[in-house]
Amino acid sequence: MPEGLTARPLTGGGLLAGLLPAEVVCSDTRGDHDPALLFPEEQAVVARATPGRRAEFATGRICARRAMSALRVPPAALLPGERNAPQWPPGVLGSITHCRGYRAAAVARSADVEVLGIDAEPHLPLPEAVRDVVASPAERLHLADLAGLDCRTHWDRLLFCVKEATYKAWFPYTRRRLGFRDAHVTIRPSGGFAVRLLPGPRLNGVRLGGFTGRWAVREGIVLAAIAAAEPPTPAWPTTVHTPGTAH
């Protein structure tokens, strides 16, 4: 967890409890809410979408507003912006995720947290064709090492989940595309991970290094969460940890 943010279980944090610092408020659900609860502007966005898409969109927004309420932020429409990223009210930073059977949102005040990204996926093996796109050759070796330590965890799905959370943390800060192969992930079996950005792009003259975060598998869902009180690290160690290596 980045310096300056103390991780501890969050009251009402659901499956995300303990994965994010206390400055972040989470709300999640295993069911869906009625799209009629959306703001009119939000309803217009998904008016032509399938019923399933409308439900997941609505539920993610309602989770987000519940989290905002805990921060005493007035409810507001959360419309999709560039690359469909939610547009948050001034002074608020958030992230929304949804997968089959699970929806969640994490929200913080931007004065407290500058980088935030969450993702959830079903705890199932990643299709081989997708894995070959997502994972670099070095990461595939890393996945094999992890499988040797624990064959019950679908490490390839976790890798995908971490990269999705990385993109959600990255994009609001940079407004730039980040491909699967633009980030190298090291997963720690104890519940942490590190992401090294390749080749360490520059933004405003500063070379961005990467992120750290936490992961969990709970009730059939894989979760990855990133939160930082500062932008992506300006430097990154060249040593890549392997399972069992001290860190």
240 has pLDDT over 60:
no
**DSSP per residue over the chain, as a string?**
--TT--B-PPTT-GGGTTTSBTT-EEEEESS---GGGS-HHHHHHTTTS-HHHHHHHHHHHHHHHHHHHHTTPPP----B-GGG-B-PPTTEEEEEEEETTEEEEEEEETTT-SEEEEEEEESSPPPHHHHHHHS-HHHHHHHHHHHHH-SSS-HHHHHHHHHHHHHHHHHHHH-----GGGEEEEEETTTEEEEEESS--EETTEE--EEEEEEEEETTEEEEEEEESSSSPS---SPPP-TT---
* Summary mean pLDDT of the chain: 87
Give 187's pLDDT tier (boundaries 50, 70, 90): very high
What confidence tens digit (pLDDT) does each residue in 105-142 have? Answer: 999 999 999 999 999 999 999 999 999 999 999 999 99
Give 231's pLDDT tier (boundaries 50, 70, 90): low
* Farthest-apart Cα atoms in the chain, separation: 52
The pLDDT of residue 247 is 28
Give 205's pLDDT tier (boundaries 50, 70, 90): low
Percentage with pLDDT > 70 across the chain: 84
Percentage with pLDDT > 90 across the chain: 76
The pLDDT of residue 132 is 95
pTM comes to 0.87
What confidence tens digit (pLDDT) does each residue in 10-64 have? Answer: 335 699 999 999 999 999 999 999 999 999 999 999 999 999 999 999 999 999 9
What confidence tens digit (pLDDT) does each residue in 155-183 have? Answer: 999 999 999 999 999 888 888 888 899 99
Give 238's pLDDT tier (boundaries 50, 70, 90): very low
239 has pLDDT over 50:
no
